[in-house]
Amino acid sequence: MQAVQSLSALVLAAGKGTRMHSDKPKVLHTLLGEPMLWYVLEAVRPLAGEGAYTIIGHGADLVRKQFPGERFILQKEQLGTGHAVLSAWSEILAGNVRWCLVINGDTPLIDGVMLERFCAAMMHDGVDLAFVTTTLDDPLSYGRVVRDAAGSVRGIIEAKDFDPKRHGEPTGEINAGIYLLRVATMGPLLSKISADNKQGEYYLTDLVDLAVRGGLRVGTLAAGDPLACMGVNSPLELVASEDALRRRIAQALLQGGVTIHLPDSVSIGPRVVVEPGVEIFGPCEMYGAAHVRRGAVLESHTWLKNSRIGSGSVVRSFSHLEGASVGEGCVVGPYARLRPDAVLEAGARIGNFVEMKKARLGKNAKASHLTYLGDAEIGEDVNIGAGTITCNYDGKRKHRTEIGPRAFIGSNSALVAPVRIGADALVGAGSVITKDVPDASLAVARGKQQCFARRKPE
């Protein structure tokens, strides 16, 4: 998709989100690990490019922080969607564009292809104002579309202001909160919006009535998929949208050749790449910028974020991976914990109750049981015995442990960093190693075993 020439976009994200009952700005609430606003920007950016602005207000600093590099406009007081667009209008005029796409920031299921189709069709029709509609059995709290006997749009009436006596029986046709405005003709109408309604807010939707009265052209596009238009105002709506998205992603992966057992119990974020030929057993969760290569197997209860899994690797049940990189043909878990910058080279193995952080395990190296490896560089073919701990923290600073290739660390050893264990070295079980161990040597650092005669029990 190419940015449509002469189009800017405003994403409305300044509202309080009162119905979420949360201090967090509504658009920062996440679906499958990504904030609501991320989805809307993904859909809008290909169309508007540099001309995409997000209007923020409530919790503005938090939103800015989470979206560095995004273009923001501050709406100081949140007086309604009409007021939000008006506060940003000078920026739109400065951009010298012909069209302005306006979209609610709480519509995360929207897809870019649909937005493009909407803009292209409406520009072609030469409208002054257009909006996306869909039809629901229950119009809930959405703005309702009112048409005359000939089917022409007369206005959008907000749910709280809707009165069948004045507006006719509801038809189920609702406003999705996505609008295309011709800058030249709609700009002057923005300042005519009043707050004379049940909520005392400046409704953007009043533009429709103003445009119709002014003899301007108003168009609508019916969205094929009502799900794509779902607004998120409450926790209930958030999880409903998240579930729809989750199913959409799992279906697409299944169709693309990923085997997902129990797909209803698998949550995969929109930035996760899963190659065909991967096998996933639910329940399981994968978020962020993760990448799972062909032939990998993820057993049930894997939780994974921003991690890479090499081809042919197996992640056994109940493993937790964040910011980790697992090479080809590795085995992780069950019950392993890989924290940021844990790196497993090809063929390495991590067993149950092993934790790694900022540590590299060389080719075919093994740490099979009950171990902590932090700030460590571990060579090829090393064997780390059960219960080994790299003591990386002295209370103030972190220190590194280096273990040369083919070294063997006996069980229950404490390696007090900074320390280096040489290549082919052997550390006796139960040692507390505080000094470097040269290559090809045996280090034993523990109390000598003594035996004393013992009186026989009576």
Give the dihedral sign, CA 111/176/196/189: positive
- Span interacting with ligand UD1, options 11-19, 331-339, 358-366, 386-394, rule CB under 6 A: 11-19
289 DSSP assignment: S
Dmax of the chain from CA atoms? Answer: 110
The residue from 8, 54, 104, 241 that contacts ligand UD1 (CB under 6 A) is 104
Q: Is 325 in the site for ligand UD1 (CB under 6 A)?
A: no
Q: Quote the tokens at residue 121.
A: 């069709």
Q: Which lies closer to ligand UD1 via its Cβ, residue 79 or residue 423?
A: 79
Q: Is 175 in the site for ligand UD1 (CB under 6 A)?
A: yes
Minimum CB–partner distance for residue 13 and ligand UD1 (Å): 5
Minimum CB–partner distance for residue 271 and ligand UD1 (Å): 22
Q: Is 355 in the site for ligand UD1 (CB under 6 A)?
A: no
Site for ligand UD1 in 34-73 (CB under 6 A): 55, 57
Minimum CB–partner distance for residue 231 and Ca ion (Å): 4
Calculate the alpha carbon distances from 429 to 306, 352, 371, 450 in Å: 36, 19, 14, 16
In whole angstroms, how large is the CA radius of gyration of the chain? 30
- Span interacting with ligand UD1, options 77-85, 119-127, 359-367, 446-454, rule CB under 6 A: 77-85
Q: Quote the tokens at residue 394.
A: 């002295």
Q: What is the four-CA torsion angle of 203, 205, 208, 214, rounded to 10 degrees?
A: 10
Site for ligand UD1 in 412-431 (CB under 6 A): none
Q: Which residue is nearest to ligand UD1 (CB)?
A: 143
Annotated catalytic residue, options 167, 261, 291, 369: 369
Q: Which lies closer to Ca ion via its Cβ, residue 104 or residue 325?
A: 104
Label the pairing between strands 342-344 and 325-326.
parallel
146 contacts 155 by C-beta, under 8 angstroms = yes
Asked about 369 being catalytic, the answer comes back as yes
Minimum CB–partner distance for residue 199 and Ca ion (Å): 13
Calculate the alpha carbon distances from 321 to 267, 283, 298, 326, 332 in Å: 15, 15, 12, 10, 10
231 contacts 106 by C-beta, under 8 angstroms = yes
262 contacts 282 by C-beta, under 8 angstroms = yes
Site for ligand UD1 in 244-283 (CB under 6 A): none
Label the pairing between strands 34-35 and 30-31.
antiparallel
Q: Is 80 in the site for ligand UD1 (CB under 6 A)?
A: yes
Residues noted as catalytic: 369
Residues that bind ligand UD1 (CB under 6 A): 12-15, 26, 55, 57, 75, 78-81, 83-84, 104-106, 142-143, 156, 158, 174-177, 203-205, 231, 233
